[in-house]
Amino acid sequence: MNDLLLAERIEKSFGPTRVLRGITLSVGREEVVGLFGPNGAGKTMLANVLSGLIPPDRGRILFEGKDITRLSMDARFRAGLARTFQIPGAYPTLTVVESIRVALLCGEEGKRRSPRELEEEVESVLHRTGLFAQRFWMAAKLSQGCLRRLEFARAISCRPKLILLDEVFSALSAKDEGELTALLRSLRRDDGISFLLISHNPLILAEMCDRVVTIEDGRVTWEGKPADLAKYLPVAAGHDHGP
């Protein structure tokens, strides 16, 4: 089995509302998979289940062949499965440096590092994510673009094998979007990180992904190459696919 992440027949309901209806999804090593679908399709819920924020009602999740279905979100992060949020969450009273330090300290690697090695790693993450100039800024004072970078910085601190990116390009300027795209590419190229990229934007998915999975009403409706996504889109006409 070559899948890095394999989610099988994931189901999740809230009372009578079935949000996920037996979704099966896989992400290979060094693969970028796009997750596309209209509002309310269950994309973010699937990310919540995969990252351990919400347990599924049924189904199982394998990460590197190990069953992580009942593992907590923090344990999944330490195991190398990181995520970012649609609305970036930051620690308002901590600076950028301190926020990154928290993630580094809690990762498996952080426990083995000396304080000096830890600070070198913090500096490296700051440079890679373009946050060095803002390193002493309080997170509460950061722009949306910098908050997204900080999310990336936090996510890559555990040297992850897979990052779930939930609408990471939403509400960004063209400049920030371009820089984040370049960062994502470099993380994939240099670190071999896989991504599950959740987005409303078919152009970004077509540009970034090796494979795209579309979901609607909690079910997988289509899976194929990004170039073929345009063929799928007319089928889904009538749904809101706007950016």
Partner 1 sequence: MIFSPRRTTGALALGAGLLLLLPLAGLDLFLLDVLASGFLLAAYVGSWDIVGGVAGQICLGHALFFGTATYSCALLTSLAGWPFAAAAAAALLLSTTAAAVVGTFSGRLKGPFIALLTLALGELAHEVALGQTFFSPRGAYSWGGEGGIPVALPWGSPSPWASYYGALLFLFLSTWGMTRIARSKDGLIWTAISGSELTARASGVDVARHKRRAFLVAGLLAGAAGVGFAAHVGRATAADFSLELSFQAATFAAIGGRGTIVGPVLAALLLHALFQGAGIAPAARVLLYALALLLVLRFFPAGVAGTLRERVRERNMVPEGASR
Per CB under 8 A, 72 contacts partner 1: yes
First to last CA, the chain: 35
Is there binding between residue 173 and partner 1 (CB under 8 A)? no
Partnered with residue 14 across adjacent β-strands are 17
CB of 227 to partner 1, least distance (A): 33
Tell me how far, at minimum, the Cβ of 226 lies from partner 1, in Å.
27
> Is residue 129 packed enough to be buried (19+ CB in 10 Å), middle (13-18) or exposed (0-12)?
buried
Angle between helices 144-156 and 174-191 (to 10 degrees): 10
Q: Does 172 bind partner 1 (CB under 8 A)?
A: no
Query: Which residues are CB-contacts of 240 (< 8 A; sequence separation ≥ 6)?
Result: 38, 39
| Residue 91 binds to partner 1 (criterion: CB under 8 A) | yes
- Residue 122's CB: how many other CB atoms inside 10 A? 22
Task: Name the token pair of 86.
Answer: 């649609």
CA distance 107 to 31: 23
- When the beta carbons of 81 and 212 are compared against partner 1, the nearer one is 81
Number of residues that bind partner 1 (CB under 8 A): 39
State which of positions 123-142 bind partner 1 (CB under 8 A).
132-139, 141
From candidates 54, 62, 106, 220, binder to partner 1 by CB under 8 A: 106
Distance between CA atoms of residues 211 and 30, nearest Å: 12
In the bound state with partner 1, the residue whose beta carbon lies nearer, of 102 and 206, is 102
CA dist., res. 145 & res. 150, Å (int): 9
157 interacts with partner 1 by CB under 8 A:
yes
Subset of 20-39 contacting partner 1 (CB under 8 A): none
Q: Looking at 14, 39, 70, 74, which residue binds partner 1 (CB under 8 A)? A: 74
Q: Is 83 in the site for partner 1 (CB under 8 A)?
A: yes
Residues that bind partner 1 (CB under 8 A): 51, 53, 72-75, 77-78, 82-83, 85, 89-95, 98-99, 101-103, 105-107, 132-139, 141, 154-155, 157-158
